[in-house]
Amino acid sequence: MSWFPNDLVSDVDLQAYENGILTAFNKTDWEEKRRKALEDWIAPILRTQGYDIERLRTRYEPEQVWAYTGSAYTDKTSAATDTTADDLNLATIFATVGTDLLYVGSTNQFRGLSIRLLDAVSAVSAILTVSYWSDGWVNLAVVDGTSKVNGKAFSGGGAVSWRVPSGWVRRTLNASDPLYYVKVSISATPTSAKASQLSVIRRSALCAPATFRTLELIMREAPTSGSGPWAEKAEYYKGEADLALQRALQIIGGEFETDDPPTDVISAEEAAQTTEQVGAGGWKMERA
C-alpha cells in the first residue's frame, strides 16, 4: 500500500497522547499495531464507502523547490514534481558543502520530505540537516529514511521526517510567494545521487483516527498484571477513534491521487477535490 503506517501515523503521533507508550511497554516501535489499525479497520471502511485506498496519499507536490548552488538560485520545481527518472541531481546541487543548499516550499506545513531514488544513490558518509523558518533558520530533529546504509544520506530513497514545529511561519525566497520553507544541507557531497521525485509529506486527516485506534489496540493487549487503567483507556480511545473517523471521512477527498497513470504524488488540483469528486459520497456511520 502507498500509505505505509510511517507515512500516515508514526510513533511520534502516539507519543503525543501517551508520552511513555514505548518505554511503558518495553517496545522500540509500534509498527505492527499501526499497520493493523490501517489494514484491518480503516481500509475496509474506505472500501465500503467507495474509495480506492490504493490511491490514498500523504505525499504532495511542493509549490517551490530551489537549489542554491554556487551562490545562485535555480528553480528545480519541475524536476522535483515530474515523473522523469533521475532528473534531480543531488550531487550537483550539493557540490560545495557548507554553502550549497536545497529549499522546499509548500502552502501548508508538512511533516517530512519524500525523496524517491532509483539506482543512482550515494556511497558517501553524510548527515542531512533540515531547518525551518521561524524569523530565522532553526534546525529540526529529523529521522532520515534515505540513510539506507547507516550514516550515508541519499544511499536510498525514503522519507525524511520530523515533528511539525509550532513556530513555523511563511516567508518569501528569491521572489517566490510566501511559503512554508525548509532548508536542507548535507555534511558531504553525495556521489551519484539522482532523485526522480521530491515531495512534501503532510499530516493526513486520517492520522487522528488511526492514532486513536492504534492506542486502543495497544491498551487492549496490555498485561493484566501490570499497573495502569488499560481497559478504561482502551474504551476511551475506541470512542475517540470512531468520532475522529466520522470527521475525517467528510474531508479526505483531496488525499486521493487520481491521475492516470498515477504519479504517486498529489497535485494542487487533486488536493482541492471533494469526496464526491473522487467517487465517494459523504460519510455515514450507524451507531447503536
The pLDDT of residue 2 is 57
The predicted-structure confidence for 38-93, as pLDDT tens digits, reads as follows 999 999 999 998 898 889 999 999 999 999 999 999 999 999 999 899 999 999 99
In this structure, the dihedral spanned by the alpha carbons of residues 36, 38, 40 and 41, taken in order and rounded to 10 degrees, is 120
Tens-place pLDDT, residues 231-246:
899 999 999 999 999 9
Q: Do 62 and 198 meet the contact criterion of CB atoms below 8 Å apart?
A: yes
Yes or no: say if 51 and 86 are a contact pair by the CB < 8 Å rule: no
Distances in Å between the Cα of 55 and the Cα atoms of 50, 105, 164, 168 are 12, 24, 24, 29
Least confident of 8-12, 105-109, 145-149: 8-12
What pLDDT is recorded for position 288?
32
Specify the pLDDT at position 287: 40
Query: What is the share, in percent, of the chain residues with pLDDT greater than 70?
Result: 94
Question: Is there a contact between 130 and 153 (Cβ–Cβ < 8 Å)?
Answer: no
Q: What is the pLDDT of residue 281?
A: 74
Model pLDDT for residues 171-202, shown as the tens digit of each residue: 999 999 999 999 999 999 999 999 999 999 99
Q: How large a percentage of the chain has pLDDT more than 90?
A: 81
The per-residue pLDDT for 233 is 93
pTM over 0.85: yes
Residue 50, sorted as left (phi over 0), alpha (psi -120 to 50) or beta, turns out to be left
CA separation for the pair 46, 106 (Å, rounded): 28
How far does CA 128 lie from the centroid of its chain? 17
